[in-house]
Amino acid sequence: MTIRFAGATIHASGEDVDDQSASSESDTDYAEEDNNFDDWVSDQAQNQSCRSLFEDKAFPSATAARAHDKDVHNFDLRTISAKLDLDLHQRIRLINFIRKHASTPEDIENLTGAESFFSLDEYLIPQIEDDPLLQLEMDDWSDDEDLSSTDQRPAPPTDLPNALRQMQILERKLAQTHRDMAEYRALVGQQFDAGRFAEILNESGPSSAGPSPRDDDTHYFSSYCENDIHAVMIQDKVRTSTYASFILTNPILFRDAVVLDVGCGTGILSLLAAKSGAKHVYAVDASDIAEKAEQIVRANGLENVITVIRGKVEEISLPDDVEHVDIIVSEWMGYALLYESMLDSVLQARDRFLKPEGGVMAPSQCRIMFGLCEGSEILKERVGFWSDVYGFDLSVMGNDVYEEAIVDVVGPDSMASEPYLLKDLHLKDITTRQLDFTSQFTLVSTTPKRTKIHAFVLYFDTFFTTTGEPVSPEVPVRVTKDGDVTLAEVWPVGGKPPPQRRASVGPGLKQKEDKRVTSFSTGPRSQPTHWKQTIFLLRDPIHAEDGTIVTGTFYCKKSATNSRELDVEIHYSVRQNAETTAVGDTVVQIYKVR
């Protein structure tokens, strides 16, 4: 999906702000007494589990979730909505905005009510399917002085005139509520699956069996059962040789260490850790590949050093005498780094098993990099190809390409800017909540002549240190080329065995290890890896020359329909050069990474 906002600029807050302020009309609120019309509020909504706005924590009901946010985060939806004078649709947009961008209470307290998202239809789409908080909030408001000056219900009328007056007020409220609900249905139905939306709203309630829980794991784990995927990963020499180099050239770190290998696959990293002197290695995998890993361990005579554990790392237990491990090693990275959401499992393993002082994560740090990409070859292969197939126009097949991120290799010459650091992940202390993120970016075109920029490109750089501490931004990533020494040192080349290293325990070795940084890049300037690069094609190319500035905001979060996938939004605008003050339209493109 592509959206264009004329005259919008991207401010330092990361929000797109229009010249026009969103107006608020607050005469469409609800009376507390009218909360049982069947078009919206049902017993199902009142009793359905609901997530906090600011934590990954669920509560028995929307009322309990709202009370928790008020007590713990000092945030009350009713208060902020009254302060900003929000109408029904704006309240819905506010809730969805908070969930979508993981906003903090402080962020929301700074809102004025004039922000552009209060008028954008995209924020009418529930971020959580059948969100009970949306449903509860719609019957929990009143802006009529007679009905909302206190949190208590109004006293029953004592005479006929008062009774008639309250009845008239409630009838007006109910009529307005039905009109608002119809309008909300229409807005969503124009762009989305209205049939499914109506089905959700009109469900009579939970069945005795309850809804089946969504399963994002079965297909994911079963995809790692086959040989091919493991062959591709192991034959990725940049990947495997860098892990091997880190493990085998840091003997002091691994000697006599207890190691946890999360998502061990064939067990290659466990084998390397054992070879480097680990006291014991626990290799964990939830897929059927764990059975082959056990066979591989026995075939290499390491069954006394490596224990394979079949199961999810969130659920398994280590032997009773093992409380903590010294090192967690894992190859968890997916396309665009965060695809597959395996990092969530690694971080849970860290919190459960890594020793608090001196424990090391390997890798210790990853950086998501972003840049301009000329992209004409990708455009030709993925879109242009369809325009003439044996003389037939099949171009409709290329329309959806702009809505899906493309995983492919682009050459170094296709880069049209220096890379920009979108997100720096320090595995020692990052949390799962921080994996959904928003980042501003500024890209400056380096093309020597006027060029059409057809895409953004994203890749990641990975770092290993023996201390687990963050790498300084000044430390460059190693860009691996064909034939580099790193590959030859740890990988048989030309049929010759790799050179043997004599273990050293000299007094200066630990100091050398502590300063050593091992790294690799998946960017266009490096030897291609199995991760390739992630490409976001633009429906409308950017006309750029040397010095053209592209600024914007990158939004990334787990998909609401499959937590292993990613939803990405890129908001950007173009300025021809640093001297130009005029900024072009703000363009929004929405992508799936899957």
Query: Per this entry, what is the length of the chain?
Result: 594
- Told to judge if 340 belongs to the known catalytic residues of this protein, a careful annotator would answer yes
3-state secondary structure of 136: helix
CA distance 534 to 378: 11
Residues 6+ apart with CB under 8 A from 532: 335, 407, 408, 409, 522
Catalytic residue among 331, 374, 565, 569: 331
Place of tokens 């006309």: 543
User: Is 136 within 8 Å of 30 (Cβ atoms)?
Assistant: no
Taking the C-alpha atoms of 134, 121, 23 and 51 in order, what is their torsion angle to the nearest 10 degrees? Answer: 20
In order, the DSSP letters of 84-111 are HT--HHHHHHHHHHHHHHT--HHHHHT-
- Told to judge if 314 belongs to the known catalytic residues of this protein, a careful annotator would answer no
CA distance 556 to 541: 22
CA distance 95 to 113: 13
Catalytic residue among 294, 340, 374, 569: 340
CA distance 541 to 310: 49
Alpha helix (H) residue ranges in 62-159: 62-73, 77-84, 88-101, 105-109, 132-137, 145-148
* Residue 48 zone, left/alpha/beta (φ > 0; ψ -120 to 50; rest): beta
Active site residues: 331, 340
